[in-house]
Amino acid sequence: MKNPFETLIIPGGILLLGFFSALLLPAPSFGLALAKQLQESLHLQDLSQLYTIVFCLWFLLLGTIEFFIIRFAWRRWSQPR
């Protein structure tokens, strides 16, 4: 019998792995000129807002990539037949 919370637990655990990866892998950093240009074009108050957005997007990107890689590996090799 499948656990009814499996659809929530598995992606949540994988996003937690994405969070750990985001801590280990450096997020993209911009030069000062590019950061200022992005700040002005996005109408942000300061650079910390820009880097908050960058870190959030980086975390979501890593979590999504890990989710699909682990889901593929699970379905391919570990699922009982």
The domain ranges of the chain are: 31-81
CA–CA distance, 3 with 7 (Å, rounded to integer): 8
The 10s digit of each residue's pLDDT in 3-60 is 777 777 777 877 787 777 777 777 788 899 999 999 999 999 999 999 999 988 888 8
Tokens of 70: 């682990």
Q: What is the pLDDT of residue 57?
A: 86
CA–CA distance, 51 with 38 (Å, rounded to integer): 10
pTM above 0.95, yes or no: no
Contact 27, 54 (CB under 8 A): yes
Q: What is the pLDDT of residue 64?
A: 80
Q: What is the pLDDT of residue 18?
A: 73
The 10s digit of each residue's pLDDT in 63-74 is 788 778 888 887
Which 3 state secondary structure label does DSSP give 42? coil
